[in-house]
A and B are shown apart, each in its own frame.
Chain A
């Protein structure tokens, strides 16, 4: 079983991100359970979305406290809050780049990838919605999913220009991590 925790603010698409990730796993025959946890019920409030995935149906209904992966959609959340809390000893963090935000040092075996996700999104989608670039980066960093699964996932959600843009964003996020890994 793998556990992914997404940190964002309400309105930044964390649920969509979790749902796209879940669907990508679903296309691989896996059983995802993607779910949100709302804080204050208003735009901009810090919130989490989670994906728990296994080769059999997931029964565990609690939030995720010891994730294998964290995806941080809004790096400003790290000001005064530890988004890496409970991250596994060999866990991977994917962070959307943001100037002026200090990223805390991770443990020796943990890996951090800082992705210019909003820059990628501006180029590909035309709006600063870096979520799909982060998913591409997640796939490359974790080795959990391939581009095809993520593409299949965005296809059932978007169409036309939005779909094209998101497919490119996934690829560029993926390539960004691959180039770092080289």
Chain B
């Protein structure tokens, strides 16, 4: 049924439909509405789950680690500093192969303090072993949570999934979505039956010491599973389409890409703005397209190679930075083409939209115009040079 709701309410409803048994979270802007709504649902008896109040994000992550270890479907949500405070536990959750789903309302990282959107928080945890899916709009945010549990709990995967949605732009954006029925979700997402769990009758240790004789294999196994997820995601999205009627590739999405001479690569809500700009440029006869990356972990290198190998010029738009190096997505996109014969002549890298600086249609047009023969490395868009002058005299 079509409903008009705030992004946070949409996610809360999606989680309700997924029937988690334990939810634990600590409020942080712009994630707060999601867990407030879930707490309300639990209090009102509309969701049969235990909501555990905690004093910090580190504890929230620890609670869901524990509950998931007992074989109960668990959920948490956070943002920015909250995700960083969870970081230690985040790595543990993946290492212990616990299929938790977490929503991150993407937000900038301090200092300076900034409550607004960029993607630095989740990008900074890309190596934790979690699967990371980035939503373009609130329909995707809704659908990806349902997909996330199915993917995470698959017995060949058993890895946690982070659904990343742009803070404020999506979490506080009121949009029309097609809300699935409980029957549809139940059909797609069966009750969780843990492969292994903490059980007093069958004692088990999770996350013990693994000395140099064992540690490498534990990490290798996660790496191999990430590759398996690359193959599984398109199968799960195909099944998703049959139940819900919405088609996702789940790894990447091409828009106007077939004959494109210039392609912009991006993740998250900015892809919508880019699509509007592409339509405008196409009307003027410019052959331009978008490659949206949905799954950043696992990174779909082969799919990206196939999509871009015949495109002469590629621009990668990062909404985060790897200070002192190449921009995060840009360096990985470039890596897809090293040593290949077929490849773009130019792969330029742009950084925009940090700490909530608005990415306008003009920002995208500037990237398009700057995508020339001369390759750009980590070029900041909409930079204000007047703010960079220093004077300590």
Chain A residues near B270 (CB-CB < 8 A): 61
Q: Does the CB pair A34–B361 fall under 8 Å? A: no
Chain B contacts to A: CB under 8 angstroms: 4, 6, 29, 115, 137, 166, 168-169, 172-176, 269-270, 272-273, 275-276, 358-361
Bound: A34/B5 CA distance, A: 10
Q: Does the CB pair B172–A35 fall under 8 Å? A: yes
Bound: A26/B275 CA distance, A: 23
Contact of B272 among A32, A35, A38, A61 (CB under 8 A): A61
A19 sits at the interface (CB 8 A): yes
Contact of A35 among B168, B273, B361 (CB under 8 A): B168
For chain A residues 31-74, which have a beta carbon within 8 Å of chain B?
A: 31-38, 41, 57-63, 65
Bound: A141/B273 CA distance, A: 30
Chain A contacts to B: CB under 8 angstroms: 15, 18-19, 22-23, 26, 31-38, 41, 57-63, 65
Q: Does the CB pair A62–B4 fall under 8 Å? A: no
Number of A-B contacts (CB under 8 A): 62
Q: Does the CB pair B169–A61 fall under 8 Å? A: yes
Q: Does the CB pair A62–B173 fall under 8 Å? A: no
* Shortest beta-carbon contacts, A-B, top 8: A59-B272, A34-B174, A26-B4, A62-B360, A35-B173, A61-B269, A60-B276, A61-B273
Query: Nearest Cβ in chain A — how far from B13, in angstroms?
Result: 15
Q: Does the CB pair A60–B168 fall under 8 Å? A: no
Q: Does the CB pair B175–A59 fall under 8 Å? A: no
Determine the residue in chain A with the shortest Cβ distance to B279. A59
Contact of A59 among B166, B176, B276, B358 (CB under 8 A): B276
Chain B residues near A38 (CB-CB < 8 A): 115, 168
Chain B residues near A63 (CB-CB < 8 A): 358, 360
Query: Nearest Cβ in chain B — how far from A41, in angstroms?
Result: 6
Q: Does the CB pair A62–B172 fall under 8 Å? A: no
Given A22-B4, A61-B169, A62-B358: A33 and B273 interface contact (C-beta under 8 Å): no
Query: Nearest Cβ in chain A — how far from B368, in angstroms?
Result: 15
Query: Nearest Cβ in chain B — how far from A75, in angstroms?
Result: 25
Q: Does the CB pair B174–A19 fall under 8 Å? A: yes
Q: Does the CB pair A59–B174 fall under 8 Å? A: no
Query: Nearest Cβ in chain B — how far from A15, in angstroms?
Result: 8
What are some 5 contacts across the A-B interface (CB < 8 A)? A59-B273, A59-B276, A61-B270, A62-B359, A63-B360
Q: Does the CB pair A32–B29 fall under 8 Å? A: no
Bound: A31/B138 CA distance, A: 13
Bound: A35/B138 CA distance, A: 12
Determine the residue in chain B with the shortest Cβ distance to A26. B4
Determine the residue in chain B with the shortest Cβ distance to A57. B176
Q: Does the CB pair B359–A31 fall under 8 Å? A: no
Chain A residues near B276 (CB-CB < 8 A): 59-60
Q: Does the CB pair A65–B360 fall under 8 Å? A: yes
Q: Does the CB pair A18–B174 fall under 8 Å? A: yes
Contact of B169 among A18, A31, A34, A35 (CB under 8 A): A35
Contact of A26 among B173, B176, B273, B360 (CB under 8 A): B176
Q: Does the CB pair B29–A31 fall under 8 Å? A: no
Q: Does the CB pair B173–A34 fall under 8 Å? A: yes
Chain B residues near A31 (CB-CB < 8 A): 175-176
Determine the residue in chain B with the shortest Cβ distance to A18. B174
Chain B residues near A65 (CB-CB < 8 A): 360
Chain A residues near B168 (CB-CB < 8 A): 35-38
Q: Does the CB pair A33–B173 fall under 8 Å? A: yes
Contact of B273 among A22, A41, A57, A60 (CB under 8 A): A60
Chain B residues near A26 (CB-CB < 8 A): 4, 176
Q: Does the CB pair B172–A36 fall under 8 Å? A: yes
Bound: A41/B176 CA distance, A: 27
Chain B residues near A32 (CB-CB < 8 A): 4, 174-176
Query: Nearest Cβ in chain B — how far from A8, in angstroms?
Result: 15
Query: Nearest Cβ in chain A — how far from B126, in angstroms?
Result: 23
Q: A22-B174, A35-B173, A59-B273 are in contact. List 7 more A-B contacts (CB 8 A).
A: A31-B176, A36-B168, A36-B172, A38-B115, A60-B361, A61-B166, A62-B359
Query: Nearest Cβ in chain A — how far from B30, in angstroms?
Result: 9
**Among B4, B168, B269, which residue has the most Cβ atoms of chain A within 10 A?**
B4
Bound: A26/B166 CA distance, A: 23
Chain B residues near A22 (CB-CB < 8 A): 4, 174
Query: Nearest Cβ in chain A — how far from B276, in angstroms?
Result: 5
Chain A residues near B273 (CB-CB < 8 A): 59-62
Bound: A36/B6 CA distance, A: 11
Bound: A15/B176 CA distance, A: 16
Query: Nearest Cβ in chain B — how far from A115, in angstroms?
Result: 24
Query: Nearest Cβ in chain A — how far from B116, in angstroms?
Result: 8
Determine the residue in chain B with the shortest Cβ distance to A22. B174
Determine the residue in chain A with the shortest Cβ distance to B6. A19
Chain A residues near B137 (CB-CB < 8 A): 57, 59
